[in-house]
Amino acid sequence: MVASTSLSEQHAVVIGGSMAGLLAARVLLNHFGRVTVLERDRIPDQPSPRSGVPQAHHVHILLTQGQRILEQLFPGLEAELEVAGAPQVNWTKDLSWLSMWGWSQAVPSDLCTRPCSRALLEWLIYQRLAQEANLTFLPSTRVTGLVANAQKTVITGVQIKTNQSTETLSADLVVDASGRNSALPKWLNQLGYGSPPQTEINSFLGVQQPLVSNS
């Protein structure tokens, strides 16, 4: 929760340094005087998977609108992907899709992206953010809980634990971007609040549907 003072003088904390956390930090830089990203993993010095992101080994696709938004947030990112070796793919021209209507026709379009590994994309974005003077990364840092005021009406920070110590980090806004293993419901319960409602969206990825009905 944000207090009433000017946002430019306030501190925002982001829990999690993966894609969601990195992009949240980038947007918060437009509004807060200081932004801190807390990441439990060690940040690699080159593009490589992290132990906290086992799904990074899976195939990832950067959709066209996603790349456009990234380019708005980080101008020149596509050029950096090109230099790193990511090829440009025109999805309707360079690939054929098989559906119940047969193979698609090769038609040029503006649906172009540069496919790359998740590790490369995260690393390039991290390198950009690391240049921001008012942004701080705290790697190898685990968040153990939320901190509230005496009335438990305002979140005032987080409890963090590193290899050396345990301390409280004050914040005017806390963003949880820690993913599916988020402890936020437990932390809210500890403060006397109920768990937030959950919405599950099933993409049915991997579920085979018959191309032709037998009925």
* pLDDT, greater one: 179 or 168: 168
Whether 73 has a pLDDT exceeding 60, the answer reads: yes
Whether 82 has a pLDDT exceeding 80, the answer reads: yes
Whether 100 has a pLDDT exceeding 90, the answer reads: no
> In this structure, what token pair is assigned to residue 78?
């596509």
pLDDT at 54: 63
Count helices and strands in the chain by DSSP H and E runs: 5, 11
Q: Provide mean pLDDT across the span 34-47.
A: 90
Lowest mean pLDDT among 49-53, 117-121, 162-166, 206-210: 206-210
Whether 211 has a pLDDT exceeding 80, the answer reads: no
CA angle 180, 77, 24 (to 5 degrees): 35
Kindly report the pTM of this predicted structure. 0.83
Whether 56 has a pLDDT exceeding 90, the answer reads: no
pLDDT at 62: 84
> In this structure, what token pair is assigned to residue 132?
């921001």
Instruction: Please provide the average confidence, as pLDDT, over all residues in the chain.
Output: 87
Identify whether the C-beta of residue 25 lies closer than 8 Å to the C-beta of residue 4: no
Pairwise CA distance, residues 82 & 9, whole Å: 38
Q: Please, which pLDDT band fits residue 163 given cuts at 50, 70 and 90?
A: confident
pLDDT at 162: 87
pLDDT at 1: 47
Identify whether the C-beta of residue 17 lies closer than 8 Å to the C-beta of residue 41: yes
Lowest mean pLDDT among 47-61, 73-87, 111-125, 144-158: 47-61
In the block, tokens 């403060």 appear at 191
Q: Please, which pLDDT band fits residue 213 given cuts at 50, 70 and 90?
A: low
Closest CA to 82 of 113, 108, 105, 111: 113
